Amino acid sequence: MTSRYTDQDIEHYDRPRRRTRPRTKDRPTYDDAVDGVVVTVDRGRYTLLLDGHKVMAMKARPLGRKGVVVGDRVRVVGDTTGDDGSLARIVEVHERITTLRRTADDDDPVERVIVSNADQLVIVTALADPEPQPRLIDRALVAAYDAGMQPLLCLTKADLADPETLLVTYRSLGVPWVVTQRGGDLTDLRAQLHERTSVMVGSSGVGKSTLVNALVPTAYRDVGHVNAVTGRGRHTSTSAFMLALPDNEGWIIDTPGIRSFGLAHVQPEHLIEAFPDLDEMTEDCPRGCTHGTDEPECGLDDAVQAGTADPVRVESFRRLLAARSEPLY
């Protein structure tokens, strides 16, 4: 199997190197390092949470050009007081459980990891203003299933439109969903976020910051045009940012600025594993079958014909499969 990881990823991180002339007998390890989690990244500086307090840090040399992203569990040495002007050093990044990548684009041809170690992808979509974009929702679903993250559809602005129109498209896939509106009851959403690390994604204007502010009253994320008021410019909302939910109920990561997900690496045989009932029906597929619409002898077609597979579910799965390789715009 080809590696799903690039040189951005963790297994390639160097171990701390031995000094050529060790001062003590051996011991190149960082025994005094402490554990932290990366909550935001801004121009080469990392904000970490260490035992509940914030610490600024930079990468130490052994990490080289390797990426450190929001959600990374890291080991840190140096000044970990978090005092003004203090700077700790990240010497190691723990193995990532999940990774989410954004699409390669003209500015940057590489699919880069943007968030690690999240277990739920909250796909925030306004029911109106802006109009839902099913193709982006499909791409986000593929990214979630491929990363082994649970997807959650969060349909905002329910005061403006009925969710049913959109829900019919996703019901056959069994995607969990919640409906919200500004100032409305967040009990359902809170229940879904409970004891999870959730990444929120969605186009600008769908109401992500409004949700984060309602969930975490101390968050003060910029809403709508507040940027103009604070005068802090766009960069205040371009980095992912991880926040603890009240009462340590979980973590939420707001990710402004992701237009879409990198799906070029997604393998059909991995995607279908997210749908065990369908996966089972592909056991007799010809070798290399992608299970797509044009496959001549796919077991999914046999199952639909035999009446053992729900045709709508198969079709929805195939729509996701196709979303992998469709051009975005």
Ligand X SMILES: Nc1nc2c(ncn2[C@@H]2O[C@H](COP(=O)(O)OP(=O)(O)O)[C@@H](O)[C@H]2O)c(=O)[nH]1
Size of the site for Zn ion (CB under 5 A): 5
* Binding site partner of 289, from ligand X, Zn ion, Mg ion, none, Cβ cut-off 5-8 A by kind: Zn ion
Parallel, antiparallel, or unpaired for β 241-244 and 113-116? unpaired
| d(C-alpha 124, C-alpha 241), whole Å | 16
The answer to the question of residue 255 lying near Mg ion (CB under 5 A) is no
* From Zn ion, ligand X, Mg ion, none, interface partner of 214 (C-beta below 5 to 8 A by class): none
- For residue 246, the partner it binds in Zn ion, ligand X, Mg ion, none, with Cβ less than 5 to 8 A by kind, is none
Q: Which is nearer to ligand X, 85 or 217 (CB)?
A: 217
Give residues with Cβ within 8 angstroms of 72, minimum separation 6: 37, 38, 93, 94, 96, 116, 117
Q: Which is nearer to ligand X, 176 or 205 (CB)?
A: 205
> Min. distance of Cβ 194 from ligand X in angstroms?
22
Partner interacting with residue 89 (select from Mg ion, ligand X, Zn ion, none; CB below 5-8 Å by kind): none
- Options 167, 289, 312, 322; binder of Zn ion; rule CB under 5 A: 289
CA distances 210 to 12, 50, 254, Å, are: 38, 27, 11
Chain residues in the site for ligand X (CB under 6 A): 156-157, 159-160, 181-182, 202, 204-210, 223-224
Distance CA 185, CA 53 (A): 31
Using H for helix, E for strand and C for coil, what is the string for 246-297?
Answer: HHHCCEEEECCCCCCECCCCCCHHHHHHHCHHHHHCCCCCCCCCCCCCCCCC
Site for Mg ion in 176-215 (CB under 5 A): 208-209
Integer Cα distance of 96 and 62 in angstroms: 18
131 vs 284, which CB is nearer to ligand X? Answer: 131
**Integer CA distances (angstroms), 259 to 135, 153, 173, in order:** 12, 17, 23
For residues 34 and 226, which CB has a smaller minimum distance to ligand X in the complex? 226
What is the C-alpha separation between 199 and 221, in angstroms, rounded?
15
Segment near Zn ion (CB under 5 A), from 10-18, 86-94, 285-293, 320-328? 285-293
Q: How far is the CB of 210 from ligand X (least distance, A)?
A: 3
| Residue 96 interacts with Zn ion (CB under 5 A): yes or no | no
Positions in the binding site for Mg ion (CB under 5 A): 208-209
Positions in the binding site for Zn ion (CB under 5 A): 282, 285, 289, 291, 298
